[in-house]
Each structure stands twice: as structure tokens, then as C-alpha cells.
Chain A
């Protein structure tokens, strides 16, 4: 079973994403801030990371940096309200993220992109 880390400070969004991904048979772990996210990247062995950008303690960009260094092969999907800000999107892609989904988003669309990233 593929393991997905969901790093998101909005519990309702992360629960919604978790609910949807569980339906597709993934094992999911919710982390509610940047610190928890970095710890989970080190300790868990994720197959995919879904992360927000604006979060307490550590930003999504820091998480991507860390993940690229520690787990260079793990695909990352960024889920953020900063989707309209070109600089953030470009920086995320420069760091090597697999996908960028701006909020508002459709969880079903996210599920399809997750499947594609894990292929």
C-alpha cells in the first residue's frame, strides 16, 4: 500500500484529502505544520508528499527543499492558495515538484493527479 504524507494546516482540507485518497486505497498520514512534515519525511518512508505552502513553523518551500535533499525520488504535489502567484509556482517547479494544484480545488482531480504521479 502506497504511503502518502498530507502536510496541511487546515484540518478540514487534510481530512477531506485523506478521505478521498483512502477511498483509492492509499495509506495516508496527516501532518498539521512544517515541523511535523519534516520529521515525518525523515522517519516515515513516503511514496508521495502533498504539501501546502503557507504553514506554521516551516513553509512548504522549506519542506520541498528538505524532501528533495532527503528523498529525491519521492514525487511532491503542492496544494496551495498561492496558485495565482507566479513566483511561488515557479520556485516550486524549479525545486522539482511533480505538480501544483491551486486552491480552490476538486478532491477528485487531486486523486487523479496523485495516481498519475505515482505511476
Chain B
């Protein structure tokens, strides 16, 4: 194989070397070149002319239409190279000089050489080609040679690679479309079958479940054995996961709409029927949707036995899993340990905060919640949530914990703390409020000024007066004036009466108007 390649390479080299030599010999000898041009008769845009140093006689002039130039008399350009010899013969007595003309420019030997090389490359000049040769014969000869493709294929389509690829692409799209339609049909038929089965199972579940709830008391349901369950529901069906799934959905749906001992009976049956194992498997699944389903099941059916599994998901990277596991722990756990919330790595969204707040508001009277744990969280959103909870739940006992937090609080936390102090009436935090009035952050300053109106002291009033003198922006000015009024009406009058500033006059009127107290 290697030898064959080497041989081919050598042949190529020899061919191109010979071609190069042929051209060199053609351009090396001007006489030979002229003979070649004469043979060719015409070459694209290449003409010739003769230059005479003496003035030609009038007969020659009428033949060749000489033009006088600075360097002699130049004949008319001639494109037919076949006339070269005859023209030269006529002008021989004047010792004429042959000039090559490419387009309208006179070219030297090199220019001509480059031009002809270009024509050779493009196929417009073929050395050795004779235009007078019998072309009809050539065509006849060619027509005798029947076309044979380089490769013979059984299928004609394979001989044309463009057609082949177009066919492949069209087939690919057709097959893909067919596969998609087929898979959609299969998916739809499976789903319909599943829905049908669910309806059938539904009807099979309703009657035994209803009679169970009315005919057995809670203790009896707790004692139910596997054989009792088989008596109630068909054994083969009860082994099917879909049947159990429908039963879980039904029990959870009913549990939401029932009250009293019916709820307890449903929860007891959920456990004795072994449905808790399905919930456990859901919690151990790798799929987030199954985990969330499992968490909802734990939440709805109060499956406190699975709380350890629930805790594993409190720091899940999936938002839904994380939120639902937190809500489940708050709901189901008898002694809610807020460590899971303190150790949250991900920021709490507003939705999560609202959801947890709703649950905490509901459970905080019955369960001991160590909210101060949240102040120690490394997660700023959790700390902020902790501060908000103190305010929302009115937990005055946690104000001391907030004081510790305030020492290293961020600006955002400071604003939340100030709002909490304002709501809970924490007069003892006046130093913190005064420090915040001097904050470089305008938002903290504004929040502090607002709270200072209710909780401030003489120092606060002094700071407010100083700030007011600096002519701050409208919002801060309004808050300063309102707080000044709340702290000391006389000072308020002294600083706001007889003012030339239209803004202060209007703000004063606004603050003094009892109807606009909360506007």
C-alpha cells in the first residue's frame, strides 16, 4: 500500500515537473512563443502592434492606420495572431518592433508570461491547441465513449452523493416524526389506561374505606392485620403500586375534608395498611417530585415516624423539596427544633417566609419554638426572618436576643430591628436608635428617625434637629418633622413656624392635620 502511494506521488511529481519544463521552454524562446500564438490565432484580450522609428509611407499608413507617438509610429492593434508573419513581412523594411498588448496596455515578456500562465490556469489558453483542427471529429469521438461512472453502485442514487445526503436527511426527519408521533400515541394511551385504572380502583376503594370508617372504631383500625386488609380489598390489587397510590390520594383527600375521629381513623389506617412504607420510599427517591409527594404525605397524615427522613431534605438544592420539608417539620414535629432553619444554606424566599410564618403562627401557642436560634444563623435571610418573627408574634421575651444581634447587624437587619422595636415599643433600645439616626445609610437613617418619634429621648431630638438643619431630602424631612412633633411640639413649632420654605410650610400643615395622621 505504502509503495503504491509513493509511486503515485512520484508520478504526480514527474507530471507537474514536465508541465513546468514545457512552459519554461515555451516562454524561454520568444520565437517559439510567437509560433504558439500564431497557431492559437486568438488569445483572450491579447493583441499585437508594431512600432516603427521612421514614418511609413502613405500606402502602409492606410493599411495599418499608424499613429504618431513620441517614440515612433504605432500600427493598429491586431487580435488575430495568424496575421503576425504577413504584417511583419510587409513592414520588414522599416525594421519594426513587435509589442504585446494585454487589454490596452503594452506588456513586456514577463507581463505576457504571467498573463498566459493565468490563462493556462483558468483553461482559456491551452498550449498545443489548434483551433483549425476538426472539432466535429472530436465531438464524434467523444460521443462514441459511453459515460461510465468511476464507481458502479447497485442503486443509482448512490452514484450522486448530493442526492444521497438529501435523501438521508429527509428520511431522518420522516423517521423522527414517525417516532415522535408513535411515542406520543403510546404515552397518551398509557395515560388514558392509567386514568381508567384509577377510576376503577377509585370505585373499588370507596365502599370498603367508607364502611371501615363507620363500622370500626379507632382502636379496631389500629389492630387491623394484613388478612383483614385482604378481606376488605382484593389481594392482587392491593399488591399493585397504582392501587396503593390511588388509595393514598383518596385517604389524603378525605383527610382534608374530614374532622374529628374520622381524621384519626384515616391516619391509623394509613399506617396499618402499610402505606407509610410507600411514603418512606418516596422520601428516599432520587426524584424531586416523588420526594415532595412523600413530604406532602408526611405532612397530611402526621407521619412523625418519618421525621428523620424529612430532616435530610431541609437543605436540599431543590426549592420545592427544601420548602416542603421545612413546612412538614414545623407542622408535624411535636417539639419543633428550629435547627434546620438556622442551618439553612440557601436564602429564604419571601414565599418561604410567608409559608413558614403561617405555620409558625398556627403552632407557636402549642409548641415550644426556640426562635432565638434563628438569630445565630449564618444565613442573613434566616436572621432577618427571625427578627420579623419576633415582631409578628409579639415575642417581647426575645428582645434581649435581638440586642445581641444588633451589635453586629447589617444595614438590612438594622432596618428590620428598628421596625421591630417600633412595633414592640422597645424604649430600652433608644441608644441603638440614636446610633442608627447617625448612620451613613439613608434607609437606616430614615427607619431610625421614624421609630425615634415613638421611642426617642432628648438625644434623639437633638440628632433630629441637627439632621433637619442639613436640609435633607423630602422623605427624610417629613419623617424628621413628624418625629420632632411627637417628641416635642414646642421644638417642632420653633423650627417649622415662620419658615420661608414652601416645602416645610406644606409638610407642617400636613403633619398638623389630624385627618392625615397616617398618610
Contact = CB atoms under 8 A, between A and B. Distances in A.
B258 A12 contact: no
B214 A104 contact: no
A104 B256 contact: yes
Interface string A19-62: 11001000000000000000000000000000000000000000
Contacts of B43: none
A19 B211 contact: yes
B59 interface: no
B245 to A, nearest CB: 15
A46 to B, nearest CB: 22
B107 interface: no
A106 interface: yes
Given A16-B210, A104-B257, A11 B262 contact: no
Q: How large is the interface on B (under 10, 10 to 19, 20 to 34, 35 or more residues)?
A: 20 to 34
B256, B257, B258 — which one has the most chain A CB atoms within 10 A of its CB? Answer: B257
B250 interface: yes
B260 A108 contact: yes
Interface string A54-81: 0000000000000000000000000001
Contacts of A103: 256-257
B214 A10 contact: no
A106 B257 contact: no
A106 B210 contact: no
B106 to A, nearest CB: 98
B254 A15 contact: no
A96 interface: no
Contacts of A108: 260
Given A19-B210, A81-B257, A107 B262 contact: yes
Contacts of B261: 106
Contacts of A13: 254, 257
B408 interface: no
A16 B214 CA distance: 9
B259 A16 contact: no
Contacts of B254: 12-13, 16
Nearest to B254: A12
A17 to B, nearest CB: 9
A56 B211 CA distance: 27
A12 B250 contact: yes
Q: How large is the interface on A (under 10, 10 to 19, 20 to 34, 35 or more residues)?
A: 10 to 19
Contacts of B206: 11-12, 15
B258 A105 contact: yes
A20 B256 contact: no
Interface in B193-226: 202-203, 206-207, 209-211, 213-214
A50 to B, nearest CB: 14
Majority DSSP secondary structure for residues of A touching B: helix
Nearest to B206: A15
Contacts of B258: 104-107
B253 interface: yes
Nearest to A104: B259
Contacts of B263: 104
Given A16-B213, A20-B214, A106-B262, A10 B257 contact: yes
Contact of B214 (A11, A23, A105, A109): A23
B349 to A, nearest CB: 26
A12 B260 contact: no
Contacts of A81: 257
A12 B259 contact: no
A48 B253 CA distance: 26
B331 to A, nearest CB: 16
Given A10-B257, A106-B260, A15 B207 contact: yes
A12 B207 contact: no
Contacts of A19: 210-211, 214
B308 to A, nearest CB: 29
Contact of A11 (B202, B211, B257, B259): B202
Nearest to A14: B206
Interface in A74-119: 81, 103-109
Contacts of A107: 214, 258, 262
Contacts of A10: 253, 257
Contacts of B211: 19
Nearest to A103: B257
Contacts of A106: 258-262
Interface of A: 10-13, 15-16, 19-20, 23, 81, 103-109
28 contacts: A10-B253, A10-B257, A11-B206, A12-B206, A12-B210, A12-B253, A12-B254, A15-B206, A15-B207, A16-B210, A16-B254, A19-B210, A19-B214, A20-B214, A23-B214, A81-B257, A103-B257, A104-B256, A104-B263, A105-B257, A105-B259, A106-B259, A106-B261, A107-B214, A107-B258, A107-B262, A108-B260, A109-B260
Interface of B: 202-203, 206-207, 209-211, 213-214, 250, 253-254, 256-263
Given A105-B258, A106-B258, 14 more contacts: A10-B253, A12-B209, A12-B210, A12-B254, A13-B257, A16-B210, A16-B254, A20-B214, A103-B256, A104-B259, A106-B260, A107-B214, A108-B260, A109-B260
